[in-house]
Structure 1
Amino acid sequence: MADEDAPPEVHHYSSLQEVPWDIQNYWAQRYRIFSKYDYGVWLTDDAWFGVTPEPVANTIASQIAESAPAGRSVLVDAFAGAGGNTIAFALTGKWKRIYAIEKNPAVLKCAKHNAKIYGVEDKITWFEGDCFEILKNQLKELAPYSVVFASPPWGGPGYRSDQVFNLKTMEPYSLQRLYDEYSVFSKHMVLYIPRTSDLKQVAKLVPDGGKATVMHYCMEGASKALCIFYGDFNVS
């Protein structure tokens, strides 16, 4: 799709001179973020900060597909962003349907466009709006068959300066808020959070007799993030 078809806030930068200074480091890693970047991947300037690098997204997607509880055939991506994780989930071939939610309409257009580039647009149903409300209303009938994946905003790149990241003050949604909202829909959830997250806060949310599995994801020797698997995932 040609650049002129993109909304004004959506871009496909093809040279460093075009790129705003604060995302130049991200643009330099564009092929790690989307290996098919040169096929015309779309991003808003803010969306660069939230995309999971493609190798990490693919690893997470494979792990969720392989470890999901029996009878769970639907995946809900609660913060789809520009589509990095959503595309990876679709590429596994595991899910009967993927439901991807994004609040920002321009970013949602990016995600839809990028899914077409990767050839998985027919595997995904998209929703624009608040993920908590959509789970309670449009998707509530799917709860018995679903797992939830959430890569929420962390409050911007400043999280990197924290030796131990406080999940109680994560903005705009705390870990407690995310867990409380999603557990009403499904106890089987995977939350993608900063690599320096306070694991004591993670553990406090585990029900008595329950479990949570923490997986640490790295790329080229560098730590990228954690995933917390709540529920009955058979993670190994």
Structure 2
Amino acid sequence: MSGDSEEAPPEVHHYNDRSEVPWDIQNYWAQRYKLFSKYDEGIWLTDDAWFGVTPEPVAKFVVLPVECGFGIAFAYNLHSKIAEHIAKSAPKGRSILVDAFAGAGGNTIAFALSGRWKRVYAIEKDPAVLQCAKHNAKVYGVENKITWFEGDCFEIIKNQLKDLAPYSVLFGSPPWGGPGYRSDEVFNLRTMEPYSLRKLYDEYSAFTEHMVLYLPRTSDLRQLAKVVKDDRKATVMHYCMEGASKALCIYYGDFNME
């Protein structure tokens, strides 16, 4: 555990041995160092949060795009850190990063470590998971670069962050409805729970036209393209670990993907 005296709430754990871990998350615990390289330094997670953590190599690295004829790009070669790539590809006037689903802090920490953003604003609805994220940010030494919000991301973006819209890029790694998504040959984004792609796009595009959504690798590309308005751009990027696609991101807006 880390050296501070901070006390974890009862639903938050730092497991040290497989025998302590509930059976349904033992596979995730076995990959703990891929999720957080500093796991042994005292990373906190709720049992549910294990399912939603973006692996740190995926949070750090993004593959470069290859242009396709219908305006959406695919990506295959692992190349640069995801946080750095979003920072470099976003318009220069965008100096704020809003992480709409902070979870236990994996992506939020990667953005804060990039050094690109004047401020990272992170939103999490579950108070116990938010406490994990704050603690984990301390483990990585970036707690002072992040402003945290507890509550519904749509309401917070619409009300508390509305004045930051002209300066913001929004990143969203929403819930995908649990691990059952893995069995879908083509993942239906219309029925994704608890928020469909249309819900996410409509809410976030009212805040900013520059958004990045992290979604299952089998997401229906036709659905991703259909929500894009005629005068806007979209680029799909596949995220890879150990030679295999693990998830994808869609970049909506005027990102410089060269």
What TM-score do you get using the length of structure 1 for normalisation? 0.98
The correspondence for 2:154, drawn from 132, 137, 144, is 132
Structure 2 unaligned segments of length 5 or more: list them: 62-81
The answer to whether the 8 A contact 1:147-1:186 is kept is yes
SS in 1 for 2:50: helix
Separation in structure 2 between the aligned mates of residue 215 and residue 200 of structure 1, nearest angstrom = 15
Query: Higher mean Cα deviation, 164-173 or 57-66?
Result: 57-66
What residue is the counterpart of 2:36 in the other structure? 34
Deviations 1:157-190 (A, max 9, x none): 0000000000000000000000000001001000
Q: How far 1:235 sits from its partner (Å)?
A: 1.6
Give the conservation status (yes or no) of the 8 Å contact 1:154–1:194. Answer: yes
Which of these residues, 19, 22, 41, is aligned with residue 20 of structure 1?
22
2: CA distance between counterparts of 1:205 and 1:143?
21
2:79 alignment partner in structure 1: none
Alpha-carbon separation, structure 2, partners of 1:235 and 1:46: 34
By how many angstroms is 1:222 displaced?
A: 2.1
Moved over 4 A (4+): 1-4
Partner-residue secondary structure (3-state), 2:206? helix
From 66, 80, 84, the counterpart of 2:88: 66
Equivalent position of 2:115 in the other structure: 93
Asked if residue 226 in structure 1 is aligned to residue 248 in structure 2, the reply is: yes
**Uncovered stretches (5+) of structure 1, i.e. residues with no partner:** none
Is the contact made by 1:3 and 1:11 (CA closer than 8 Å) also made in structure 2? no
The one-letter code matched in structure 2 to 1:130 is D
The one of 164, 171, 175 equivalent to 1:149 is 171
Map residues 116-131 of structure 1 onto 2, 5 A cutoff.
116-131=138-153
Which piece of structure 1 moves more, 53-62 or 39-48? 53-62
- Choose from 191, 199, 208 the match for 2:213: 191
Matched residue type, 2:128: A
**Offset at 1:105?**
0.0
User: Deviation per CA, 1:17-44, whole angstroms, max 9, x where unpaired?
Assistant: 0000000000000000000000000000
Q: Tell me how far apart the structure 2 counterparts of residues 225 and 61 of structure 1 sit (CA, whole Å).
A: 16
Aligned residues: 236
What is the RMSD computed on CA atoms of the aligned residues? 1.1
* Greater RCO, CA 8 A, separation 6+: 2
What TM-score results when the alignment is normalised by the length of structure 2?
A: 0.90
AA paired with 2:146?
I
C-alpha distance in 2 between matches for 1:118 and 1:39: 9
Shift in Å, 1:210: 2.0
1:200 to 188, 209, 222: 222
**Identity of matched residues, %:** 80
Which of 168, 183, 195 is the equivalent residue of 1:161? 183
Return the structure number with greater helix share.
1
| Greater Cα offset, 73-82 or 222-231 | 222-231
**One-letter identity of the residue aligned with 1:32:** K
